[in-house]
Structure 1
């Protein structure tokens, strides 16, 4: 049984139908777990200031993730990495992935630190009308949850590696682990620390999202984090491909901020 699961977790998926089945089934499972998570949040904290603060605390981390990672990285990294797998050696392709992982990690770490320190200034902007204890709770939650884009950003690179090498199982299961971690935070931590238990669950979920995919990527050859460098030709090509998509996402985020 263990060997079967290990092969499923680490092995290459044969055929488009099998890949679609794995991703589709895991996506359905993630949505069902997400529904249970939301019901658990509502039943534990009820509609009111605490849940308002919790959901508002996602805005800065999600904006950071959307701007730097979502769509833009996929538009740049996966095509270049896949091309390197076909035209160069696997070792060269994995070295490129390590370089991108290092650059993304460093960029996200700096951005997360910026959001952490400037949360008292930024949160009132993205959550107008929040005052007093509600505002302070939102700031505190944001400062906890701002760690999540760091792990999710690096996990996105690992996900690109897994998709390009047809390792779909860990890639598909990672979001389920993310939601299960939030549920665990609510169940185990919230009785003692309240809504902050859910926030720590978010961070744990992002970490497990990263670790789940890293466990497979490590066996594929990603073993180190080199010093971040933008001089690598592959990294520069990825950045050029990312730029138009990142600009479009930035405009979208600004429009959403105006609507809020």
Structure 2
């Protein structure tokens, strides 16, 4: 719980800075063809950051790092050198192949040569971020294994700080102002790696890198990277598929999906990433000690926290979608129509939040036991379903202005299916055995969520959010978030749920 709180707090700081970043982007650049070009160029390295930096990459590293500090230091030397060489070659190739990557990830941009060229130019700048983010993730996994969670969790904030600085300082000085954001991504990668290297040195884990393709431990980690990443990151791949499909829709669709995804990422980062990051070393340790009861208890504890926070967060995002988008992003070039369109995709994305969070907690139940094939297989099924359903919903709903929201809905449904499939596999193999009290717990959480939902649904819908001044929007939004939160937790308390019921000891 302490580790989760540390990661959650650091992630909160990073997410708040991310909101500041997105508010500035919306204010200075709006939602048009140029921002679509940047968000595609940014989606690829940001997709890689989410794969590697937000706990996913740890699925490959943590089991290899579970033998103590000396073993970690001995493995880091050949692993970091070998990875660095591979990443340098991939980054170089990706920069040269930028136009082809834009063709792969946003084929709809072929209709506009200007948008295509701008996306390719910015991708050449942002793609080398891959080199830095993978090495940063490796360092973070090593630090987590020795109980150091704060620095790895706060490191993503450097990306937001750097992009904020580039928006305010560099953008006004460039002929194409939005390219300042691409330079901010590249600079952030270097700063993140330097910070993690300093933390490794402080922990006594820093070792001089050397290239060694014959080291058995290095080969084992490299082989596990692909399945581990894809198994836990089906949601991120699905979001990339959304970007590809949205490039064929109305101008601004990529941007609307980006802004709505950012709001869903807030609770996902606070809960899903924090729980997944903190629970993986614990699960790896209990598996190494051959304690299946403690392993199951930890999974049970994590799932209870998923539902406790994700269900009311889902309801809040759905009923407050227009209020949130208007308050945070409706400045200058971000119009009232942009608010309406982004709100639609936000409400649809939010429906999948319990699935998004649950996958972060359930996948460590497999990777801690060195089973990477099961989450990979289920993740691939989720991606295929999302792609097919997204195309259908996008085409069917596009004439009504809901095409991009259809893509978001497909991703939400795919995440819920993926989480349900992971739970089913854990239950069938008897790795996870639910503890007593689940009907009691579910009844109270669902009832409290219903009370909060009714409060918001009957009071917030007709408010003139888009016509209020910025201060009025923020004040009313804060009041209603507070009222909804109070109603939820007060109902939980009146129903008899107490903090000790949610401890790991109670789950056991």
TM bucket, shorter chain: 0.7 to 0.9
Q: What TM-score does the superposition give when structure 1 sets the normalisation length?
A: 0.81
Cα deviation for residue 117 of structure 1 reads: 0.5
Verify: 1:48 aligned to 2:32, yes or no.
yes
Alignment of 1:3-152 (within 5 A): 16-17=1-2, 19-62=3-46, 73-83=57-67, 85=68, 90-130=69-109, 131-152=112-133
| Aligned-partner Cα distance in 2 for 1:38–1:224 | 38
| Aligned-partner Cα distance in 1 for 2:163–2:239 | 29
Cα deviation for residue 192 of structure 1 reads: 0.7
Q: Secondary structure at the match of 1:239?
A: helix
| Aligned-partner Cα distance in 2 for 1:248–1:91 | 29
Q: Larger RCO: Structure 1 or Structure 2 (Cα < 8 Å, ≥ 6 residues apart)?
A: 1
| Aligned-partner Cα distance in 1 for 2:52–2:137 | 11
| Aligned-partner Cα distance in 1 for 2:239–2:4 | 34
Any stretches of 5+ residues in structure 2 without a counterpart? 246-508
Larger radius of gyration: 2
Any stretches of 5+ residues in structure 1 without a counterpart? 1-15
- Write out the 4+ residue segments of structure 1 that deviate beyond 4 Å after TM superposition: 62-72, 246-252
| Aligned-partner Cα distance in 1 for 2:158–2:129 | 14
Q: Is the 8 A contact 1:59 1:126 kept in 2?
A: no
Q: Is the 8 A contact 2:61 2:141 kept in 1?
A: yes
Counterpart in 1 of 2:167? 186
Cα deviation for residue 202 of structure 1 reads: 1.1
Q: Is the 8 A contact 1:116 1:143 kept in 2?
A: yes
| Aligned-partner Cα distance in 2 for 1:110–1:69 | 20
Deviates more, 1:141-150 or 1:106-115: 106-115
Deviates more, 1:70-79 or 1:97-106: 70-79
1:210 pairs with 183, 187, 193, which one?
193
Deviates more, 1:168-177 or 1:146-155: 168-177
Verify: 1:163 aligned to 2:147, yes or no.
no
Q: Secondary structure at the match of 1:225?
A: coil
Q: Secondary structure at the match of 2:97?
A: helix
Q: Is the 8 A contact 2:52 2:137 kept in 1?
A: no
| Aligned-partner Cα distance in 2 for 1:222–1:248 | 29
Computed over aligned residues only, the root mean square deviation of the Cα atoms, in angstroms, reads: 2.5
Q: Is the 8 A contact 2:171 2:178 kept in 1?
A: yes
Q: Is the 8 A contact 2:75 2:217 kept in 1?
A: yes
How many residues in Structure 1 have an aligned counterpart in Structure 2?
238
Q: What TM-score does the superposition give when structure 2 sets the normalisation length?
A: 0.43
Q: Is the 8 A contact 1:60 1:115 kept in 2?
A: no
Q: Is the 8 A contact 2:6 2:149 kept in 1?
A: yes
The CA deviation string for residues 24-70 of structure 1, in whole angstroms up to 9 with x for no partner, is 11111111111110010011112212211110102433455667787
Shift of the 21–108 alpha-carbon distance from structure 1 to 2, 3 Å rule, reads: same
| Aligned-partner Cα distance in 2 for 1:156–1:230 | 20
| Aligned-partner Cα distance in 2 for 1:137–1:80 | 41
Q: Is the 8 A contact 1:27 1:172 kept in 2?
A: yes
Counterpart in 2 of 1:3? none
Counterpart in 2 of 1:11? none
| Aligned-partner Cα distance in 2 for 1:64–1:246 | 10
| Aligned-partner Cα distance in 2 for 1:254–1:22 | 29
The CA deviation string for residues 192-211 of structure 1, in whole angstroms up to 9 with x for no partner, is 12111111111112222211
| Aligned-partner Cα distance in 2 for 1:64–1:114 | 16
